[in-house]
Amino acid sequence: MTISPFTQFVLDLFIISAVIITAYTCNFYYLAYLSRRRKDIQSTTDLGTPSVTIQLPIYNEKYVAKRLVDAVCELDYPKDKMRIMVLDDSDDDTVELLENTVGSYKKRGFRIEHMRRGTRKGYKAGALKYAMETTDTELVAIFDADFIPPKWFLKRAIPNFSKPNIGLVQCRWGHVNENYSAITQAQALSLDFHFLIEQKAKSNSHLFMNFNGTAGIWKRDCIEDAGGWHTATLVEDLDLSYRAQMKGWRCVFLPDVVVDAELPVQMNAAKRQQFRWAKGSIQCAVKLLSDIIVKRKVAFEAKIQAFIQLTRHIVYPLMLIQFLALPVLLAGQVNLYVISFLPALTIATYLAMGPGAYIMIIQSMYHKSWKSKAKILPTLLVYNAGMSVNNTVAVFDAVFGKKNEFLRTPKYGVLKKKDDWKDNAYNLPFSQVTLLELFFGAYGILGIFIAIFSNNPVFAPIIGLQAIGFFYIAYLSLSHTRFKRNKSSEPRQMTGKERMANRVYRLSVVGILVIIVFGVTMAVSGYNSDIYPLDRMRGHLDGVVGSSDPVTLSAHLAAIQTDLAIVVEKLPETTNANGQITRNPVWIFPTESTNFVRIQKDVDTLVASVEKISAVPKDSSSYHTGMMDISSRAFLIKTNIMDATPYMYVSVANILLGTIWIVAIIGIFAALKKKREQFKETGESGV
């Protein structure tokens, strides 16, 4: 079967994306194999009590900052060997809270400092770089504000510096609020995959492993030898750990040393964290990959794995390309089955490559408790699918070199299900990315209908899973938004302006939902009136090609004529260079093959041919020759209709309606943004 150049281009993009995504997926399975095959060979030695500086970079974390300082000061380690640096860049109530907390511990004999730079230059990396100027201890431990190190942390982790070339000991993250909600469970499972599969496999081999930014201990000599903290990327931890390993230092992961941390409970905070990780990884790829590739002392497999780790977030834009391409290919009747005559094998292959393999990995990770973790897998799949828009924007930001402020992920001290955070400070509003998520969700609904009406229902669940993900992430982004002054001190009664802002927000959300429902309804209606008749015609043309009975042929052709009349009536009438009337869905550079007036005449000719051949004896050579001619002409008409089908989606009317639909949603977003800025100005001025 021949396909149009446009459809062939889309098919090529789809196949290339599928191959690359499969390669990254298979590499994860390879790391899962390494994590099981290679046992943890890390040895320990008694190093006594070497001096250690504990650095705590903090910015506006009034809900968790004191909890962190308290936990660090409770560490079971000699006070004279432990120096604590509270690197406070805050500009809200956190400053006073930390001053009081640090002052209290100083009086109790702790070597603790409240360090204020007076600037946020370089953000977290800048604060760590500033602290290293006065750090003189052998080791440097780092904890983010949302972590709660256990009392025994230093005594369990420090002995793992058993060899002189070990520059970093990274510990596993625990999840103190894992069961708070579905999104915290999904995040916890995703992080466990990273630590118990990727970090474990790389730590026990010669592959490069990354520092996770917190819950780790560095040798001061290693940091200095690697060039110190750089501020050029959003993931200073990944950057430093790779530069250290290029210098010959080794990084070690300790799966049995777990440091609990608080997971983001607000969707907009989780999206911010994912955005920073995705963009930062691509920034590091641009910054470091060329040096890694030419470094002779780096093993070939380590180079390959470094490339995969630093570029793995390109999977997200590739997922969106596949998502956009699949309905187009299905509408064009392109066969995408793994084996053409076994459609069920396609969905089986997807399940085996995705959920099936992940369940096996979960079994190996959690052993007896694997069933409870496996129940979270569907939520994680939906969560990851929905996050693909947010992370794709991050990838393009990095590729095109867009500068971004380092935006920390706010935490609220939420540990139990009954804890509420929605009226706290630091709540993040939804962003313009939410609009894209809604668009992709609506497109997914249209794709499901295309899969069903094109007789490819096996692809409907695949499209549906992603569509659900987009709507789920967008819904939580909207529902988790609150208009709240970021620097408010204590819970208080909302002002009239705050109540008005929340009413505007709710009405805007309703307006967006109404517009989405209207757009989906129009899309389904448009498909039923513009595209589905073409699908029916292709089905009847298949019947013409496969039949040799004049009565059956006449029935098929009559149905085709009915559908053709519907389609032709909807197409604009134009005149070609020869003065002939045409009706063509291709409104830019139209061709005769997609002229439905000509197609209509060809069908009329087929009808006449069937009438003539019905009078010819069936056992004559003329009858067989005539049937072959009818079959070949029917196949050609089917090809012309398939070429025209994609252009029915991009008609002038559809483009205008789509533009109005998008402009309406953007208008609501713009109004909300203006209201939010006005509210912020009011809050900062104290009015």
246 close to 299: Cβ distance less than 8 angstroms: no
> Residue 568: which of 596, 527, 541 has the closest Cα?
596
> Residue 284: which of 233, 214, 246 has the closest Cα?
233
Q: Locate all alpha helices (DSSP H) within 375-432, ordered by sequence.
A: 377-399
DSSP per-residue string spanning 176-196: TTGGGSHHHHHHHHHHHHIII
Spans of all domains in the chain: 493-501+515-687
At 574 the three-state DSSP class reads strand
Q: Which token pair is 533?
A: 């008749």
Determine the straight-line distance between the first and last CA of the chain, rounded to whole angstroms: 70
Kindly report the number of other CB atoms within 10 A of residue 418's CB atom.
7
**Which residues, 6+ apart, have CB-to-CB distance to 281 below 8 Å?**
235, 238, 309, 310, 311, 312, 313, 398
Catalytic residue flag (residue 89)? yes
Burial class (CB in 10 A: 0-12, 13-18, 19+), 344: exposed
**Which residues are paired to 250 by β-bridges?**
166
Give the model's pLDDT for residue 662. 72
Q: What is the 3-state secondary structure (H, E, C) of 630-674?
A: HHHHHHHHHHHHHHHHHHHHCCHHHHHHHHHHHHHHHHHHHHHHH
Residue 432, phi-psi category: left (phi > 0), alpha (psi -120 to 50), beta (remainder): alpha
DSSP per-residue string spanning 416-483: STT---TTSTTPPPP-THHHHHHHHHHHHHHHHHHHHHTT-GGGHHHHHHHHHHHHHHHHHHHHT---
How far apart (Å, rounded) are the C-alpha atoms in residues 231 and 415? 32
> Whose structure tokens read 């492993």?
209
Give the rounded distance of the alpha carbon of 166 from its chain centre: 34
Kindly report the number of other CB atoms within 10 A of residue 588's CB atom.
6
At 575 the three-state DSSP class reads strand
How far apart (Å, rounded) are the C-alpha atoms in residues 74 and 482? 36
How far apart (Å, rounded) are the C-alpha atoms in residues 668 and 681? 20
Residue 64: HSE in the Cβ half-sphere, 13 Å Cα cutoff: 30
Q: 111-115 and 166-175: which strand pairing?
A: unpaired
Return the percent helix, strand and coil in the chain, to nearest 5: 65, 10, 30
Q: Which token pair is 259?
A: 């440091």
Give the model's pLDDT for residue 362. 92
Give the model's pLDDT for residue 485. 44
Give the rounded distance of the alpha carbon of 571 from its chain centre: 39
Give the active site residue among 89, 146, 260, 643.
89
Give the model's pLDDT for residue 456. 82
CA dihedral 531, 536, 542, 548 (to 10 degrees): -150
Distances (CA, A) of 267 to 146, 199, 405, 469: 17, 26, 19, 13
Give the model's pLDDT for residue 480. 87
Give the model's pLDDT for residue 156. 95
Give the active site residue among 88, 146, 192, 237.
237
362 close to 373: Cβ distance less than 8 angstroms: yes
Backbone angles phi, psi at 170, to 5 degrees: -100, 130
**Which residues, 6+ apart, have CB-to-CB distance to 68 below 8 Å?**
56, 58, 61, 143, 145, 146, 147, 148
Residue numbers of the chain with a pLDDT score lower than 70: 1-4, 38-42, 338-353, 404, 482-506, 508-509, 669, 672-687
Catalytic residue flag (residue 225)? no
245 close to 210: Cβ distance less than 8 angstroms: no
Helices H, strands E: what count in the chain? Answer: 24, 10
Give the model's pLDDT for residue 686. 41
